[in-house]
Amino acid sequence: MVQNLLITSQCISIARTTNLSKAKDFVPQVIGTELALQAQPQANYQRLIRFFRDGVNEYLPELHECIQGMAVKAIGNFPARSLKKAKQLVIDGTKWLTREDKIHFLTLCVVIEGAAIPIASHDLKKAGHSSQVERIAFFDRVGKHFNLKGMVLLGDREYVGIEWFKDLKTVRGIDFVVRLKKGIYHDQVNATQGRSWQRMNDRLEKNKKIKFVSKRVVLGGYDYRYIIVRNPKAGHPDEDDFVYFLTSLKNSRFAADQYSVRWQIEVTFRHLKSNGFNLEDMRVEGQEKRELMMAILSLVFTMMVQEGVKFYRENPKARQKKTDHRRGVVTLVHSTFRQGCSILLKHWGNLAGALRYLKRLFRRAKPLNWTHV
């Protein structure tokens, strides 16, 4: 399936910049040629292996741009009502090591139909956390394709920093809800009028009926809200009694409720790395080629989720649910991704079928009001 998409995209990209005959020489299985009838699927698969194994191809930058644009355009196939509600962004990173490199994909997703759909990613080539400078530079690149003003960004404990917060709110107009480590920003909390950090913490400990406490706090000359929320997972060996947030939103309860959606990016990474595409096991070498592969998988992941959403809308009785008592969450027996995967595979048995599917997909796609692509 993935090789069909890559071959198709290579042909489209090459044909745009050169001519069709050159595209036919590059890939044997092109619709409407004699070679298309002669080439075996295994031959195309071997070409893909050589493409990702050997040196950087001269068409790689445009191919990456082409597929990234396709991935974004494909989002327009979600139901219009779902796109209108898509106001939540999630940022996180997924990391692993190879013989040659340290890999760290900083990834930005938009939450649609309860799924975190990747819209941008960048390999930082490092094992540690991203810095404020790296995140700001990442959003500079994202801003060339998207207008995310008015959305809410959700981030885990590593996505902190006074300059980072300032850039999101004042430069980009993006609100944020970021989880904090227990021991940071206490001095700033204590410096503003009202309860000290310790008194806020004590109030939650003494009164079990109170779900959260919050307070205005000033960081780098800008006002935010510091929130302490009772942890619904308290009592678990790996969990604290309380969860700490910083947000640019004025409504503390709304901000705390938003954060629960952040977990969906972990689900997306699991599908990309081990529960579907096995990105880590592909062992693609080279930053540019890894980013290309991530763009390809983001496109395919988006289409699979869309097919799953469509299936469950048309067959509501098929939505069987199960309860994970250890985590206290209710999930589908067959996720929208897995359901969509089984459906999409039927369309992608060969290159001709994949190309027909892509044509229908992009013909029906609705324009997104928050993208410049």
Range from 11-20, 284-293, 307-316, 342-351 carrying the lowest mean pLDDT = 11-20
Comparing 363 with 353, which gets the higher pLDDT? 363
Provide the token pair at 55. 């040196």
> Token pair for residue 158?
């590593």
pLDDT at 359: 86
Phi, psi values for residue 212, rounded to 5° = -160, 160
Task: For domain 86-264, give its CATH number from 3.10.270.10, 3.90.350.10, 3.40.50.150, 3.40.50.170.
Answer: 3.90.350.10
Break the chain into its structural domains and give their ranges. Answer: 2-71+284-364, 86-264
Q: How much is the pLDDT for 100?
A: 72
pLDDT digits (tens, 9 = 90+) for 11-28: 444 334 433 344 344 444
Question: Comparing 334 with 211, which gets the higher pLDDT?
Answer: 211
pLDDT band of 30, cuts 50, 70, 90: very low
The angle that helices 287-314 and 2-17 make with each other, rounded to 10 degrees, is 120
> Measured between alpha carbons, how far is 128 from 282 in angstroms, rounded to an integer?
22
* Segment 192-204, tens digit of pLDDT: 999 999 999 999 9
| DSSP H helices in the chain | 2-17, 20-26, 34-38, 41-53, 60-74, 80-84, 132-142, 162-166, 186-191, 197-206, 252-258, 264-273, 287-314, 336-347, 351-364
Q: Is 33 left (phi over 0), alpha (psi -120 to 50) or beta?
A: beta
Can you give the pLDDT at residue 325?
60
Residue 8 is predicted with a pLDDT of: 47
Find the range with the poorest average confidence among 50-59, 120-129, 271-280, 339-348.
Answer: 50-59
Q: Sorting pLDDT into bands at 50, 70 and 90, what band is 43? A: low
pLDDT in tens, 164-201: 999 999 999 999 999 999 989 999 999 999 999 999 99
Out of 63-67, 79-83, 148-152, pick the least confident.
63-67
The rounded mean pLDDT for the chain is: 82
Q: ∠ at Cα 115 (111, 119), nearest 5°?
A: 55
Give pLDDT, residue 89: 97
| Cα distance between residue 264 and residue 261, in whole Å | 6
Query: 141: which 2 tokens?
Result: 């690149």
Q: In angstroms, what CA-CA distances link 242 with 128, 200, 303, 324?
A: 26, 11, 38, 22
Q: What would the two tokens of residue 333 be? A: 């027996």
- Give the C-alpha distances (Å, rounded to integers) separating 12 from 177, 290, 296: 40, 20, 14
